[in-house]
Chains A and B, each alone.
Chain A
Amino acid sequence: MNKLDDSAALPPTASRDIKTIVNAGLKRRHAAERRFRGYGLTAISLGLAFVVLMFANIIGKGYPAFWQTYIQVPVTFDPTVIDPDGRRDPKALENADYAALVRAGLRGLFPQVEGRRELRSLYGLISNNAPLTLRAQVLADPTLIGASQEIWLLASATVDTLIKGNIDRTLDESLRPVKDNELGWIDQLHASGKIQRKFNTILFSNGDSREPEQAGIRGALMGSFYTLLITLLLSFPIGVATAVYLEEFAPKNRWTDLIEVNINNLAAVPSIVFGLLGLAVFINFFGLPRSAPLVGGLVLSLMTLPVIIIAGRAALTSVPPSIREAALGMGASKLQMVGHHVLPLAMPGMLTGSIIGMARALGESAPLLMIGMVAFIVDVPRGITDPATVLPVQIYLWADLPERAFVERTSAAIMVLLGFMVLMNGLAIVLRKRFERRW
């Protein structure tokens, strides 16, 4: 009681009292604020540290995969092997024994090697696609027949791993994938400059392979492209149309409320559920082919639609009512009002939402497990019904293989996937920054 009266009258002594009380509390309050900032800073730096750690780990493991070891082998395009009857018949040229040329070339490099076993490991230095490389060269230029050339051939994965320093030479011979004799040959080649690392174009031009040195992500990239194409073509128009209808035309009643709640729920449904749905509806009921980007795209559209609808509605509500009223006041029909004024103004927001939804679809693998896209596919898909796989699934498959050379390729594939993610999200940010209007 007393205190209250004092403060009400505000005599000089009382105000000093308050000051001291405030001052005493001030220290504590400042400390609390500093602590809170400290917590925030720790949380952010911890998060950043993990991001940096993840990137450092992936890039550290993955960047060697962008280089690939080649061995220079003197190859003589011996006409008696390739074209014994000398007619340059393309069919005969196609079926000739090019492996013999590679073997002869390797024997030429190391004439002292003898014995079946030794020779076998010598031939093992070169990847088993070398005959196909030679065949392609001969078919492209038949004048090569009879000539001798130094040709850079793809080295096998073990040589590549050794050259990249991922095999411990000091270990006992029985524990190394590279034996002493092979080590000797490789060192000899290295010393004479016949081993070189070149940019790994194979990684971007080949489909999957069980030989790490021949494995590439082109098949998975094309699969992802076709899948996302289907997803975009289906989910963008349907999503935008739904958003416009619900926001601008639909009457507000219990039914539209129910639909709205359901759409919001669908956005939170785990993606594997859409995979099961896709399996039951598209494959088992409609009989669409398994492992096809068509089905993958359909499933991912189901998953992306709610995201696009929600983003689209948010973009539409942010257009101020004055625009609508002005359009209607000038005599525009409701459709004209939406088509000419509201939709163009809401489009940047809708596009941003769609791109983020598509980026999520690009990184998705769980629903595709169900519809058979977890598959080994060598041939690069050429359409929406060809069997295909996608980038995240390719990463999952490579991570599970025993060969050590796949570790770096897995990380390289992750780097490519992350690159596309950053690109798409960056595009969304640019769109927002350049076209979004604030009222």
Chain B
Amino acid sequence: MRKQKIILAMAAACALAGAAHAQSARDYISIVGSSTVYPFSTAVAEQFGKATKFKTPKVESTGTGGGFKLFCGGVGVQYPDISDASRAIKKSEIENCAKNGVTEIVEVKIGFDGIVVASSKKTKPMALTRKDLWLALAKEVPEPGTGKLTANPFKTWKDVNPELPAHKIEVLGPPPTSGTRDAFVELVMDEGCKDFPAIKELEKSDGKQAKAACGTIREDGAYIEAGENDNLIVNKLVSNLNALGIFGYSFLEENLDKIQGETVDGVSPTFENIASGKYPVSRPLFFYVKKAHVAVIPGMKEFIAEFIGEKAAGNEGYLANKGLIPLPKDQRKQIAADANSLKILAP
């Protein structure tokens, strides 16, 4: 009786192991990573599946950090081949990759994503600067009189800058887990705080503290974490006329009849301004390829070629229709050449 049970248990274990073996021949590309790159990556995957004899790649939306964690898990078919990222890979992530044997990584930049500050179409547009945004959203700001850092006292935009309307400060934006939030802090908050004497002083004495003072967003209800769903923010802007929202450019483009993008430092967030680099709040998007998999998984080279080809990532490519801002032409050429020859990222 007992013997029978042991045999049964062993059979069950063998069945599981057998299923694991079935996986050893994966014939589709596995992509993980950023939810910002997901709409582009999936569009390329679909086209690739239709236009070539290869299977359609599987694209998982895990977030940039989560993607690298999986990607750096090791070399082998159970690990993903490509990781999408809405920021460049961090040093710690490269080290983690190397520790697990993923030493050869190819970095491919695919274009830009603008981060817009938008409001309902029914309100008057505001001409914002990064300084205004920092003063309105930072946890601690220099006191108007003394210049010493205190808890943010500003309640309305007029308090921040007399030229702005007397609306209550209400900004809907992504939570700290989001790559969009990281980019907003880096591109707006860190830039907006620079010219204040208090920050400059802090910079000299303690750089880490200065960075924290610049990048910490207030938690008293003026900044509302609205989750990862940008459509939700758009809907909330339509019903709340005083609120501003922070999200990716493609959501502004899709909803131009309902919302407007505010100018930042005098530049409005249009396709042309982001592409030319005039609009200050834009970030590059990437995907990272595990070189060791290129020879093993069918279609990897062709997929990379499709992604960076003019048909997809070019000025009039289908990714531009989906809201991706293409790279300048000469840069595209260089990147395409590097990617097609699988030039690995310098460690």
Where the two chains meet, the residues of A that have a C-beta atom closer than 8 Å to any C-beta of B are 120, 129, 132, 167-168, 171, 174-177, 208-211, 283, 286-291, 294, 372, 374-379, 385, 387, 397, 399-404, 407
Contacts and interface: CB of A to CB of B under 8 A. Distances in A.
B19 A210 contact: no
Given A287-B78, A289-B23, A375 B254 contact: no
B286 interface: no
What DSSP secondary structure best describes chain A's contact surface?
loop
B113 to A, nearest CB: 12
Contact of B59 (A287, A289, A376): A376
Given A132-B50, A378-B45, A286 B17 contact: yes
A400 B22 contact: no
A210 B42 contact: yes
Closest 7 A-B residue pairs measured CB to CB? A287-B20, A376-B59, A378-B56, A376-B42, A210-B43, A375-B60, A289-B23
Contacts of B46: 209-211, 376, 378
Given A291-B58, A385-B22, A397-B61, A402 B251 contact: yes
A379 B55 contact: yes
B256 A376 contact: no
Interface stretch (B97-105, B133-141, B223-231): B223-231
A210 B30 CA distance: 17
A289 B77 CA distance: 9
A407 B234 CA distance: 13
A375 B19 contact: no
Contact of A288 (B23, B32, B322): B23
Contacts of A129: 50
A375 B61 contact: yes
A334 B297 CA distance: 57
A402 B230 CA distance: 8
Contacts of B49: 378-379
B257 A401 contact: no
Contact of A376 (B16, B38, B78, B228): B38
Q: Most chain-A Cβ atoms within 10 A of its Cβ — which of B19, B22, B50, B230?
A: B19
A290 B56 CA distance: 16
B253 to A, nearest CB: 7
B35 interface: yes
A129 B254 CA distance: 22
Contact of B23 (A175, A210, A377, A385): A385
Contact of B250 (A209, A288, A290, A402): A402
A404 B255 contact: yes
Contacts of A378: 45-46, 49, 56
A290 B50 contact: no
A385 B61 contact: no
Residue in A175, A176, A289, A403 whose Cβ sees the most chain B Cβ within 10 Å = A289
Contacts of B20: 286-289
Nearest to A174: B256
A376 B230 contact: no
Contacts of A288: 16, 19-20, 23
B45 A376 contact: yes
Interface string B53-82: 001101111100000000000000010000
Given A376-B42, A378-B56, A404-B254, A399 B19 contact: no
B257 A176 contact: yes
A376 B42 CA distance: 7
B280 interface: no
A168 B256 CA distance: 11
Contacts of A120: 316
B119 to A, nearest CB: 15
A288 B23 CA distance: 7
Given A210-B43, A286-B20, A288-B19, A375 B58 contact: yes
Nearest to B251: A402
Given A289-B19, A376-B42, 8 more contacts: A210-B43, A286-B17, A287-B17, A288-B23, A375-B61, A376-B38, A376-B61, A397-B61
Nearest to B318: A128
Nearest to A132: B50
A374 B62 CA distance: 8
Contact of B253 (A209, A375, A401, A402): A402
A387 B28 contact: yes
B19 A294 contact: yes
Given A175-B257, A210-B43, A402 B231 contact: yes
B60 A171 contact: no
A290 B78 CA distance: 8
A110 B261 CA distance: 36
B323 interface: yes
B39 interface: yes
A377 B229 contact: no
A386 B7 CA distance: 29
Contacts of B16: 286, 288
A377 B231 contact: no
A164 B38 CA distance: 28
Contacts of A294: 19
A400 B78 contact: no
Nearest to A401: B39
A354 to B, nearest CB: 22
23 contacts: A120-B316, A132-B50, A168-B257, A176-B257, A210-B322, A287-B23, A289-B22, A290-B78, A372-B32, A374-B61, A374-B62, A377-B56, A378-B46, A378-B56, A385-B19, A387-B30, A397-B61, A400-B35, A400-B229, A401-B39, A402-B253, A402-B322, A404-B255
